[in-house]
């Protein structure tokens, strides 16, 4: 388990071709996955050749920031000479210099079942191949493997897309909907309302092309320069970002919380306060994941009078939040789900 004095270093080969040196993006995504509301440089990148920083410089930067443990991951597909000889030699050199720091070296990407999903995604993206057929087949399998009778027809696309995103049929039982949730969400989409998210990963996963048809935007304030650190009341950046957006943006129609229970609790507080937001009717999708306040915040949401979609379990997170929104966006483009 990572702590505040840990640093992760991704090391790539490096290339004279500038656009090929892009593992910084991977580093940011990894940091967001580990610490969704952190502003530190917990995940850094380095290169063996052609590009700075090199591994020793990156290690020095980590230690200057107070790192007590440095985990180094070779962002390589196989265990060639760089992985088995060059990088280990540099790590051993660092161990001799920084004797009070612990260094760990992980395996390369290698052969992993999840790489198959990536290859499949790349193949499906080739023009002329029918990736939609694979998705259709997946939904057929979901329908065959469980009994969905008795579930309201308007909820089925959302429940099945969440199962598709998570491969977890438990969501069929734990997802709950306010009676006006889907109607409110579809009205917001078709009215060109904005979608507010708690973290960047949720914002990134939402299908922007479907939303842009209705001239809506996806908003996330966690990276706003005003909120680089938590304030004196020890509120999280996700919480502060949600509060700022709700008070300043009068075009928000859907709030999506996929990671931060504090952001969900703040949303509930604001929507129940006398101050009220400038927004008239909102749908709150609250599915934070975790062991601290996640299920408690969702239980509180499930007792609200305003429209909501949530799940009563510890499970949730970005994939669930994104799946719910994307299901609504797809439904918003089908006339049969909503009378104009």
Tell me whether strands 102-105 and 218-220 are parallel, antiparallel or unpaired: unpaired
* CA 151 vs CA 59, 163, 177, 308, 315: distances in Å: 54, 14, 11, 17, 21
- In terms of average pLDDT, the best of 45-54, 112-121, 217-226 is 45-54
Q: How would residue 232 be classed by pLDDT, with cut points 50, 70 and 90?
A: very low
What is the per-residue pLDDT across 23-79, written as a single tens digit (0 to 9) for each? 988 888 888 888 777 777 889 999 999 999 999 999 999 999 999 999 999 999 888
Domains 6-105 and 155-337 share a fold: yes
Q: What is the pLDDT of residue 129?
A: 53
Q: Which of 35, 164, 178, 244 is catalytic?
A: 164
Whether the pLDDT of residue 139 is over 50: the answer is: yes
Active site residue 164: yes
Mean pLDDT computed over 97-105: 95
- What are the domain boundaries of the chain? 6-105, 114-145, 155-337
CATH of region 155-337: 3.40.50.10230
pTM of the predicted protein model: 0.61
The rounded percent of the chain whose pLDDT value lies above 70 is: 87
Biggest CA pair distance of the chain: 71
Q: Which one has a higher pLDDT value, 89 or 120?
A: 89
Instruction: Read off φ and ψ for residue 96, nearest 5 degrees.
Output: -70, -30
Is the domain defined by 6-105 classed in CATH 3.40.50.1400?
Answer: yes
């Amino acid at each position: 388990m990572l702590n505040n004095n840990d640093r992760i270093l991704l090391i790539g080969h490096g290339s004279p071709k500038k656009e090929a040196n892009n593992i910084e993006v991977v580093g940011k995504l990894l940091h967001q996955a580990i610490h969704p509301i952190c502003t530190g440089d917990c995940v850094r990148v380095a290169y063996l050749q052609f590009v700075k920083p090199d591994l020793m410089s990156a290690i020095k930067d980590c230690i200057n920031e107070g790192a007590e443990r440095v985990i180094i991951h070779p962002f390589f597909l196989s265990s060639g000479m760089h992985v088995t000889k060059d990088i280990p030699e540099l790590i051993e050199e660092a161990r001799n210099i920084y004797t009070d720091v612990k260094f760990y070296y992980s395996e390369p990407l290698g052969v992993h079942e999840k790489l198959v999903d990536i290859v499949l995604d790349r193949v499906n993206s080739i023009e002329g191949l029918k990736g939609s057929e694979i998705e259709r087949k997946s939904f057929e399998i979901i329908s065959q493997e469980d009994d969905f009778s008795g579930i309201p027809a308007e909820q089925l696309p959302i429940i099945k897309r969440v199962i598709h995103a998570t491969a977890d049929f438990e969501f069929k039982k734990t997802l709950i909907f306010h009676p006006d949730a889907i109607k409110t969400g579809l009205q917001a989409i078709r009215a060109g309302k904005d979608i507010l998210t708690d973290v960047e990963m949720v914002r990134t996963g939402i299908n922007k092309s479907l939303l842009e048809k209705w001239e809506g935007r996806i908003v996330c304030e966690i990276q706003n320069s005003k909120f680089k650190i938590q304030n004196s009341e020890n509120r999280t950046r996700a919480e502060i970002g949600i509060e700022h957006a709700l008070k300043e943006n009068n075009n928000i129609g859907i709030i999506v919380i996929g990671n931060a229970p504090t952001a969900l609790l703040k949303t509930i507080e604001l929507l129940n306060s006398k101050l009220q937001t400038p927004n008239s009717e909102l749908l709150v999708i609250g599915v934070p994941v975790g062991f601290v306040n996640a299920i408690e915040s969702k239980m509180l949401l499930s007792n609200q009078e305003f429209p909501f979609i949530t799940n009563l379990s510890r499970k949730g997170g970005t994939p669930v939040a994104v799946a719910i929104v994307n299901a609504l966006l797809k439904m918003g483009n089908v006339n049969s789900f909503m009378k104009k």
